Amino acid sequence: MASSAKNNKINFLILMVLAAFIVIIVILLLTGTIKFSRNTISSKTNVSSVTTNSSSNSSSSKSNSSNYSNSSSVTKEKAVIANISVGGEPEGIVATPNGEYIYVAEPGIDTVSVISTDTNTVIANVTSLSEASSVAIAQNGKYAYVAGEDSIYDIDTATNTVTSNLVLAGYIGDIALVPNSTYLYATNQVNDIVMVIDTETNKVIANISVGRGPNRIAITPNGKLAYVGDEGSNQISVINTSINKVIFTMYAQGVPEGISITPNGEYTYVANYGANSVSVIRTATNTILNEISVGTGPNSIAITPDGEYAYVLNSKSATISVINISTNTVNETLSVESGPDDDIAITPNGKYAYVTSGNSGDVVSVIPI
C-alpha cells in the first residue's frame, strides 16, 4: 500500500509538471515569444519564392535572346591611358596580327599613321593616300591595304612605303580580306557594287551587285560569307564568296554601319546607326535573333578575341556599349573622354581598345579592357 501511494504521488507530480510545461508553452505561443517553427516555415517559403522568381527571370532572359533587349546599364568613366595625336579626321583603324602596331586612316590629310602599341606613339606616317578611310592587314602582317577615294593602296609594313596603287572607278567605302586567300573585297558606294580584287595580280576579278550605298563589310573567319551594310537601301547583303553572288538580303533596323563577326563565325553583329541598336544575326540561317538597344548613333563594332564581348562605338552619345555575347545584353556603358567619331579596334591579346576620334582633337584614345 505504501508503495502504491508513493507511485501515485510520483505520477501526480509528473502530470503537474507536464501540465505546467504545456501552460507555459501555450502562453509563450499566444504572446508571440516563440516563433521558431513559424519562421522556419516562412524561411522555406521565401527560399521557394526566390527560386521561383529566379527561374522565372532565367526563363525571361532566355526568351529575350530572340527578342528586343533593352539594357539599363550604368554609364561608367573608363580610364583612358593615352590620347595619341594623329592627323586630320581619323577613321578606319586596325591592329596588326602580332599586336605590335595600330594602323589609322586619316582622310583629312590623306595619310595613314602607324602607332606602336608598346609606347603608344606614332612611329611612321604614310602620306599621299587620297582620302584614306579604311585599312586591312594581311594575315601574315606583311602588307596593309588602304581604301582611298578611288584607289586601293598596298603598303609594305616592314618599310611603311606604298608598293602599288590600284585605281578604281567610284568611291571606296570599306575593305576586308578573305582569310587564307589572296582576295580583298571592297565596297563601291557610287556604283552599288562590291569589287573582288586579287592582291597577287592587283586586278579586279569580279563585280557583285548589292544594295544602294554599300559601306561596311565583314567576312566570316572561314572565308565563305561576306556581310555588307547597304546604307542607302537600309539592308544587309550576304555574299557567297565561292560564287561571288548575293545569296540573301535582309532589312536592317536603320542605316547599317559597323559589322563584326564572332571568332567562331556563328554570329554577325550589325550596328544600326539610325535605330540606336545592334542586330544579332545567326550566320548559319541568316536570321536576326536579337535587337539590342545601345547608345546613340552606333557606327562601329569590335569583338574581343575570346568572343565574349562586343564593344559598340556610339558616335553621337560619346560612349561604348559593352555587350555580353552569351546573353546579348549590355553589361556596361563606358563614357569616352574624347567624343568617338568612327572606328574601334581591339588588340589581338584582348587587353586594349583603340578608338578614333575625329571630332575631338584628332586623337586615338587607348582604353584598357
Q: What angle do CA 256, 257, 261 make, to 5 degrees?
A: 95
301-322: pLDDT as tens digits? 999 999 999 999 998 888 999 9
What is the pLDDT at residue 338? 55
Which backbone phi and psi does 296 adopt, to 5 degrees? -90, 130
Per-domain boundaries in the chain: 2-64, 75-368
Residue 82 one-letter amino acid: A
Give dist(CA 276, CA 312) in Å, integer.
Answer: 11
Among candidate residues 324, 322, 277, 325, the one with its CA nearest the CA of residue 297: 277
- What's the pLDDT tens digit per position in 56-99? 333 333 333 444 555 445 555 567 899 999 988 899 999 999 99
Provide the phi-psi class of 362: left if phi over 0, else alpha when psi is between -120 and 50, else beta.
left
CB 249 within 8 Å of CB 240: no
Q: Name every residue whose Cβ is closer than 8 Å to that of residue 249 and which is 6 or more positions away in sequence.
A: 211, 235, 236, 237, 238
CATH topology assigned to domain 75-368: Methylamine Dehydrogenase; Chain H (2.130.10)
pTM value is 0.80
Q: Tell me: the pLDDT tens digits for 185-235?
A: 999 999 999 999 999 999 999 999 999 999 999 999 999 999 999 999 999
